Amino acid sequence: MISKYYSSLVLQLFSIWVFGYICKIDPITKYLNLYYATLLMSIGFVLFILYLICVKQVSFDPLFLLILVFIHFAPLYITYKYSNKVYLKETLVISFLIYGLVLLYINKNPIDVYLLDKHPASIDELLTRCRSDNDNYIPACFIFKLIKLL
pLDDT digits (tens, 9 = 90+) for 17-31: 999 999 999 999 999
In a domain, 109, yes or no: yes
Exposed, middle or buried by CB within 10 Å (0-12, 13-18, 19+), for 94? middle
In a domain, 12, yes or no: yes
Q: What pLDDT, on the 0 to 100 scale, is given for residue 133?
A: 64
Under DSSP, the state recorded for 55 is T
Please state the domain count of the chain.
1
In a domain, 135, yes or no: no
In a domain, 59, yes or no: yes
Whether pLDDT at 149 is above 70 = no
Query: What are the CA-CA distances from residue 122 to residues 58, 128, 137 (Å)?
Result: 10, 10, 17
Q: What pLDDT, on the 0 to 100 scale, is given for residue 74?
A: 97
In a domain, 143, yes or no: no
In a domain, 124, yes or no: no
Report the candidate in 81, 115, 94 with the shortest Cα–Cα distance to residue 10.
94
Share of the chain above pLDDT 90, in %: 71
Residues 97, 62: Cα–Cα separation, whole Å:
34
Q: What pLDDT, on the 0 to 100 scale, is given for residue 37?
A: 96
Number of other residues whose CB lies within 10 A of the CB of residue 134: 10
The domain in which residue 97 lies consists of: 6-119
pLDDT digits (tens, 9 = 90+) for 29-39: 999 999 999 99
pLDDT digits (tens, 9 = 90+) for 56-96: 999 999 999 999 999 999 999 999 999 988 999 999 999 99
In a domain, 138, yes or no: no
In a domain, 44, yes or no: yes
Whether pLDDT at 150 is above 50 = no
Q: What pLDDT, on the 0 to 100 scale, is given for residue 47?
A: 96
